[in-house]
Structures are given as structure tokens and as C-alpha cells.
Amino acid sequence: MNAVMRAAATVSSQATFENVTAPYSRPEAMTSALTPADARARLRALAPQVREALVLTRRGRVLAGPRALAPAAKDLLRATRAPAVEAVTGGGVVFAARSRRHAAVVVARRGALPGPVLFGLRRVLQGLEAAQE
């Protein structure tokens, strides 16, 4: 009888936990479409270590962000065919990702976690792609 009571309590507490925390544990839905300026703002908010972000067309035309970063960003994207890249430099880390129509580059201080930043880059690119459809 004691085991049945404990099992019932566990099931009940798990149901309560799921109902109470569900709104907080679901990923925030991204808007279906992003402008380049919105995309840049989201990229800059990915991590406290992010110093700058740049949004480009697939061919390298700057859509949002400092144009001074464009030549280095283009070189990095041309150096690899990978859909996403992380490059460690003497001053920090550069993350870049590309989609069918866009590319995005994030410059960060050391300590930025690659997984969340690259995931965020891909999500932002999805939002930009949705704006084109």
C-alpha cells in the first residue's frame, strides 16, 4: 500500500511540475520573418560576450552591421563551404553561418559558448529566409 501511495504522489507531483513549468520550458517562438536590422539585434543579444554582428547577402553585400567588418567576413565565408564555422583569433572568436540567401557573422570575446551562438545564428538565418518567402 505504501508503494502505491508513493507512486501516486510522484505522478501527481510530476503533473503539477509539468503544468507549472511548461510556459517557461518551451523555446521562445521566433517571428516568422526578420528584417536584417532585427536579425542583427538578435545576434548581438545571443551572449554577453558578443561584440558585433553582421548580416550579409549570400554574395557578400552588407544588409546590417558595420561595413568595416565585411571584407574579413567575406574572406572567412569564402574559405570554407561549411554551413557554419567557428574561428578562434588572438582577440576572441568569430562565428559565421550561411543559408540559401544570407550569411551572418558574430564577433565575440573569448568565453562565448559555441553551441548556443551557432544555434542562434541558424535560427536568425531561418527568420531572414522566412522574410524572403
CA distance 4 to 31: 46
Contact 128, 39 (CB under 8 A): yes
Mean pLDDT of 25-29: 50
pLDDT in tens, 114-125: 999 999 999 999
Q: So what's the pLDDT on residue 19?
A: 58
This prediction's pTM: 0.74
36-132, CATH topology level: Beta-Lactamase (3.30.450)
Q: So what's the pLDDT on residue 131?
A: 76
Residue 20 confidence (pLDDT) above 80: no
